[in-house]
Amino acid sequence: MSRTQVIVGLGSCGVAAGANKTYEKIKALNDAEKLGIELKKTSCVGMCYREPLVEIIDESGSYLYGEVDESRAIEIIDKHITQGNPVKEYVVKTDLFVTEDNTFLDAQVKIALRNCGFIDPENIEEYELRGGYKAIKDIAIHKTEPAAIIQTVLDSGLRGRGGGGFPTGLKWRFAANNQSDEKYVICNADEGDPGAFMDRSLLEGDPHSVLEGMIIAAYSISATGGVIYCRAEYPLAIKRLNIALDQARTKGYLGENILGNEGFDFDIYIKEGAGAFVCGEETALIASIEGQRGMPRKRPPFPAVSGLWKKPTNINNVETFANIPWIVSNGAPAYAKYGTEKSKGTKVFALAGKVKRSGLVEVPMGISIRDIIFKIAGGIKDNKRFKAVQLGGPSGGCIPEYMADTIVDYDSVNATGAIMGSGGMVVMDETTCMVDVAKFFLDFTQKESCGKCTFCRIGTKRMLEILQRITEGEGREGDIEMLEELSVQIKENSLCGLGQTAPNPVLTTLRYFRDEYQAHIHDKKCPALACKKLVTYKVFDDKCTGCTVCAKNCPVDAISGSRKEIHFIDQDKCIRCGVCYSKCKFDAIVLS
């Protein structure tokens, strides 16, 4: 190695944590002190909980430093670069010694995320140096039959990572078999699940892998045009995609007669979506691209027969396309060796919620939910009790702690009542009210309903009203039965996946946490002490020192008491905001 490399993570998570300032500080130090380091940029490596991240690669090896703000950057540059002494206490990952964060990355298998955190996503040469565009080059050189590529994808066992889990190769075959002078390939990047950021991170970190996957798909089905449908609220992903598209055109990976293959003409443009969750449904997405209101339609015909502009169209999501170049280059058996009988390969998850280590992970199918939460994510924050995990976002469901040994594959997860979805994984602890969780997700889907079908538009609204009453202590006999009946009707009669899956959070919480619903309705209590209108704040006499902090911070003057005297909370005035509870340093405010 000629020069020491210093690489700063500049994905959205890093930027939000202040990585741009860290980068500028290191750049200024390098210029002012003539350190001679090679300063580079990359994107998210997955350890979002340790951002900003800075990697230093010198002759002794690689050191990934965490939580590097400007002052820590000065210290690290001084000790590591100038004095040659790595600052071990700040290192979160290295192969040279063990750190407490080592297990976060060591337990993962990275295929879709193979380049994230390793390359500058705005530099096509770095993608090529790691084998990028080799798959499409080989196809062009050997003039591989499209049917052979489709068979490879089919043999790999890759199922659509957008949530449906339909075999990708079969989907491609349907589109290939339909003859037309025009065909299209669409990348669904309309990620919008609460807690999900897999696609955004992948597009920010390795946009060329998605483009290459789309180009291979286009070659396989004889497509003439491509569209990436990405929500406008992902500006960094869109910026890097546009850079990648320009670079790919310059290099001849997009355009006419791609890589000298006469007649293989294909280009891609980006359609920025307005952020409607229903546009993740493929017929609504197509309508939006065509300039219509994003609403689904009945199927058949399926997009493989009549899709964009009524031409045969193949739609896959970001993660699916990112896997394709690796599968073509390494062969179907290499991919299929990971996973279970019916769910091959790996899956990317966005880990969020009450875990110690939140971030982006890629794991082999077949790993248990418990291993993801405790071995990779480090367990639950503040040593609280693990209660449940929400899989599949608002279309998914809650899996309780006693089912945490469920393995991650499509069939096993579906059997719990949840779904794999695109990969959102929200972990909950003992302080989470499951009725409130169901209300949160139903509130989301109710607001995101396009309103086209009555069961989704009005049914979810009636369900939400019932949940609202229950969490406010106004639940009544028959509410649970009504929720169940409405759920069945909405699932059976809604037009698209949004409505058909909207009741899942309610149904799974009713299945596994029915006692919590009953406590809210019959006892007017929230067992998790989370529903504001069902809790009471009181002063614990033995611990109150009369410091007056609670009274001074109460927004409605509900707390009385003189200095050094025990205070009192007027329950008629108390609005249960919890400010007194959070401000008291003596644990003198109790919640019941």
pLDDT band at 103 (very low <50, low <70, confident <90, very high): confident
Please name which of 355, 486, 342, 488 lies closest in space to residue 413, comparing C-alpha atoms. 342
- Is the pLDDT at 226 greater than 90? The verdict is yes
* pLDDT the model gives residue 420: 87
DSSP for 534-567 reads G--EEE-TTT-----HHHHH-TT--EE--TTS--
Average confidence score pLDDT of the chain:
95
- The pLDDT score that the predictor gives to residue 393 is 86
pLDDT reading at 77 higher than 90? yes
Q: What percent of the chain has pLDDT over 70?
A: 100
Q: Measured between alpha carbons, how far is residue 549 from residues 319, 546, 569, 572 in Å?
A: 51, 8, 13, 20
User: Which alpha helices (H) appear in 251-355, and where do they start and end?
Assistant: 282-289, 318-330, 332-336
- Give the Cα separation of 155 and 167 in Å (integer): 10
Given pLDDT bands bounded at 50, 70 and 90, which one contains residue 455?
very high
Q: How confident is the model at residue 162 (pLDDT cuts 50, 70, 90)?
A: confident
- The pLDDT of 332-342, averaged and rounded, is 96
**C-alpha dihedral sign at 32, 33, 38, 40:** negative
For residues 253 and 133, the answer to whether their CB atoms sit within 8 Å is: yes
Please check whether residue 508 is in contact with residue 417, taking contact to mean a CB–CB distance below 8 angstroms: yes
For 252: left if phi > 0, alpha if psi spans -120 to 50, otherwise beta; the answer is left
Distance CA 145, CA 8 (A): 42
* 434 neighbors 529 (Cβ within 8 angstroms): no
pLDDT on residue 87: 97
Q: Can you tell me the distance from the alpha carbon of 98 to that of 118, in angstroms, rounded to the nearest whole number?
A: 21
Distance from the Cα of residue 576 to its chain's centroid? 33
Give the integer Cα–Cα distance in Å for 288 and 279: 7
Instruction: Choose among 523, 516, 502: nearest CA to 428.
Output: 516
Q: What is the pLDDT of residue 287?
A: 97
State the Cα–Cα distance between residues 273 and 254, nearest whole angstrom. 23
Residues in contact with 521: Cβ distance below 8 Å, sequence separation at least 6, in sequence order: 470, 475, 476, 477, 479, 480
d(CA 146, CA 138): 13
Q: What are 398's strand-pairing partners? A: 390
The pLDDT, as a whole number, for residue 2 is: 65
Q: What is the pLDDT of residues 272-315, one digit of tens each?
A: 999 899 999 999 999 999 999 999 999 999 999 999 999 999 99
pLDDT > 90: percent of the chain: 90
Give the pLDDT score at 107.
84
User: Who contacts 265 (Cβ-Cβ below 8 Å, separation ≥6)?
Assistant: 224, 255, 256, 257, 258
**Prediction pTM value:** 0.94
pLDDT band at 1 (very low <50, low <70, confident <90, very high): low
pLDDT over 90 (residue 395)? no
Q: What is the mean pLDDT of residues 105-123?
A: 95
Rounded distance between C-alpha atoms, residue 45 and residue 177, angstroms: 39
Instruction: Indicate whether 403 pLDDT > 70.
Output: yes
Q: What is the pLDDT of residues 354-367, one digit of tens each?
A: 999 999 999 999 99
pLDDT category at 243 given cuts 50, 70, 90 is very high
Query: What does the buried/exposed string (b/e) look like for 464-487 if buried means 16 or more CB atoms within 10 Å of the residue's CB?
Result: bebbeebbebebeeebbeebeebb
Residue 427, pLDDT > 60, answer yes
Length of the chain: 592
| CA–CA separation, 471 and 231 (whole Å) | 33
